[in-house]
Amino acid sequence: MIATSPPVQRVLTTPLVALAIALAALLGAAGLTAGLLEMALRNVAADEVYLITEAVVTVVMLLAYKLVVRRLGREPRDDLTGPGAARQTALGLGAGFLLFSSIVAVVALAGLYRVTGPGDADFLLFAIVTDGIAPAVGEEILFRAILFRWLEEQFGSWPALAVSSFLFGASHLGNPGSSWFAAIGIALEGGVLLCAAYMLTRKLWLSMGIHASWNLTQGEIYGVPVSGNEARGLLQSQLHGPDLLTGSSFGLEASVVAITIATLCGLALLRLAAQRGKWVPAAWWRPAPAPPA
């Protein structure tokens, strides 16, 4: 006689229910923590509040992932384990640096980017936390390890890639200087690239490394606004020229140069993932698992 799981358990482990529970756990924990910190730090300087909040919320999101999210679904798994964690993270950091450096190089050769003077390292630690670690950890857990993962399990890789990338881009609409063009650019250059990195490894280390390095390279090295946010880095720079090529006040992420280069890199990783058999069909196209003997 074949044992069957109780109906409630079967419902709770379905992909879309697991996704909803994971979102509630992650965003609920992050929102509650941010609210409590805001009340507790009323008399602290705004920059310090922001730094502390970003750091603590990042730790809370990691805990929520480890305690709740990784245990959900029909086949629980942890996307934040080794082996290969250090190597993949280092590879991602290097790739993010080289990728954005190539974008700046193209724009500079076109005469649209120039260094106006030296910056300073006063805000480097601040930026490493707020522009690097916090978004890389929080957004990769949210958009790749939760949204992409369970949408893929239910609908297959292509729909999961399209929906999670669109939502990733749309999440930047509230940033300074943003527009639908900028959001679509983020969806293509960031969503596709980072999903491809996740698909290729089925871990978060590579995508987190790329994400953190991409942000830090543009803002803290080249002095380019990070998704519309002010850059305070090692170089002072100026972008001048058509918005289509410079991204205007949003920064180079909204330029056709960045969109083209990063999206092509993302497509190359997607092809590599396909060659390695990492693409997943929709649930109704997958063969049913064989019953236990």
Q: Which residues pair with 237 in a beta bridge?
A: 115
Residue type, 83: P
In contact, 115 and 131? CB cutoff 8 Å: no
pLDDT at residue 291 greater than cutoff 60: no
Please report the beta strands in the chain, taking only residues with DSSP state E, as ranges in sequence order: 113-118, 235-239
Q: Which of 29, 31, 27, 8 is nearest to 19 (CA)?
A: 27
Question: Where do the structural domains in the chain lie, given as residue ranges?
Answer: 1-77, 79-284
Band (289; pLDDT cuts 50, 70, 90):
low
- Which pLDDT value is given to residue 13? 83
In contact, 112 and 241? CB cutoff 8 Å: yes
Q: Which of 215, 231, 214 is nearest to 223 (CA)?
A: 231
pLDDT in tens, 107-137: 999 999 999 998 888 888 899 999 999 999 9
